[in-house]
Structure 1
């Protein structure tokens, strides 16, 4: 009987340690607050984000990232990489003078994107925007440029509500 209890105790301890390691270093969840990523992500959705990806690589243009700030976490899309020149003119996004297609945006979001820039993204920082451009607090208006160490992961999938279960990439 004592041996069986010890075996169960070991199994539970190992499970707790593995859960801690996975939660701390590989995957975690975050709740989307507000409508700044609409229509890609909705207020109240819970997403799983990959914490390990940026140990192996750097954020890429188009990634939906989780940004950790002292007051709260933000979910935004990476638009400009280090040394990129970002500009919005006549409702169109230009990166390094090249007009960008933003297939993740609908016509209304594109039309509501006001002129901005040009701004050169410094080394070690990123320019981010929400998909709901008219209301998003992002690199254009209050969130500022994002330091690489503030990006704690890349959104991978929506897990709640269950009927919205899907990849975010």
Structure 2
């Protein structure tokens, strides 16, 4: 969406926003509808996968350029962290580098603590939660298999060999 009378599109301008953590159900029209109340949008780049098995699917982020920096700042302040399809939007200026403060999804992980109360780094906190969920998944599968095995015993079927 290009306004022919507005300023030219500049990918490094201070009025261009990155909008990330987009759900697959969000369309270009939805993005425009969500961000239009904050000012005059002069361009919108909604990125798609162009190759591979996800070809034609949205990449999960877009860029929006407003006609002024003030409009972009207003949109950033109002939309950053706002839920869209159950996911918090990540909105920052396109020229900003990523940092935990910019991303609401991971900023809470940066301050995570281990079992002894020591602070963990973002990567350590993420791997810790992955290990916990993996252990919980394994325990749930074992419980289900045990229940199925007991059900089979009571139903008169043949007993399978134990897993352990």
Same fold (TM > 0.5) = no
* RCO higher in structure (CA 8 A, sep ≥6): 1
| TM-score normalised by L of structure 1 | 0.21
Could you say which structure has the higher strand fraction?
1
Could you say which structure has the higher helix fraction?
2
| TM-score normalised by L of structure 2 | 0.21
Which protein is bigger by CA-based radius of gyration? Answer: 2
